[in-house]
Amino acid sequence: MIEVNEMEKLMVVEDEASIRGFIVLSLKHAGFDVLEAETGEEALRIFKREPSVHIVLLDVMLPGMSGFDVCEQMRKLKSAVGIILLTAKIQETDKVHGLGIGADDYITKPFSPAEMIARVQALLRRLNGNEINADSEYIVSSVFKLSKKNEQFFKNDQLIELTPTEFTLIKTLMENENGLLSRDELLDRVWGKNFVGDAKIVDVNIRRLRQKIEDEPSEPSYIMTHWGRGYFWNGGKA
């Protein structure tokens, strides 16, 4: 069983009572403190009054406000929250859209409790698992500065809000400055060796990062692509 900080909470947002009950029970058996909501509107009310919610498992197909809309609102309220979308849809466009608006991961229904717990644990590690070396608390590269301790990222001393996954991804790239990392290597380092989702999650998050940090996202200067081989951080730009 994973060790869970008692201050951390998970929230399950699912309108079907039987599915929600199954998810909540599985998470509680794994040692998590779990809140639950039936609608997107209810989820946002809980989210606003419970700042200790660290991960949200969010169904896409909700009555009224969609899971996509809830995801966007939650991300605006708290950039550091982890969001896992639960979806019965298998269309590529839905997956890309969900990741593009700020979700950290998605699980396609039906799924096993073991898969769900593994994905939650992997996201928790991205939220909490950065061990700090006192000699390298910061990574400085060109106009960028990354604080490992505070999990913050700056460009020209201006804070850029990143999701937990985006932060771990850019930290991984910067720690390997000018070193080529394949998509599989990034999956292992950022999402974990047991990740069973679509490898294109790497590309979507790279695209999202470029939109946030590059002067010209369509012609990146820092997060570079080596076509067919992977990505690397170019720290040589003045």
Is 0.95 surpassed by the pTM of this model? no
Question: Is residue 223 a contact partner of residue 153, using CB atoms and an 8 Å limit?
Answer: no
What pLDDT does residue 3 have? 42
Domains of the chain: 9-128 (3.40.50.2300), 138-233 (1.10.10.10)
What pLDDT does residue 1 have? 38
Closest CA to 148 of 163, 167, 161: 167
What pLDDT does residue 92 have? 66
β-strand 105-108 against 152-155: which pairing, if any?
unpaired
- One DSSP character per residue, 104-163 reads SEEEESS--HHHHHHHHHHHHHHHH--PPPGGGSEEEETTEEEETTTTEEEETTEEE---
* Tokens linked to 147: 């604080």
Closest CA to 225 of 237, 238, 207, 208: 207
Question: Is residue 83 a contact partner of residue 55, using CB atoms and an 8 Å limit?
Answer: yes
* Cβ-Cβ contacts under 8 Å for 220 (sequence gap 6 or more): 210, 214
- The one-digit pLDDT tens for each residue of the chain (238 residues) are 334 444 468 999 999 999 999 999 999 999 999 999 999 999 999 999 998 899 999 999 999 999 999 999 999 898 889 999 998 866 667 777 888 888 898 888 889 999 899 889 888 887 775 444 444 688 999 899 999 888 899 999 999 999 889 999 999 999 998 899 999 999 999 988 877 777 889 999 999 999 999 999 999 999 999 988 999 999 765 4
Question: Is residue 185 a contact partner of residue 231, using CB atoms and an 8 Å limit?
Answer: no
- DSSP SS3 for 49: helix
Closest CA to 162 of 184, 146, 142, 178: 146
User: How far apart are alpha carbons 85 and 104 in whole angstroms?
Assistant: 8
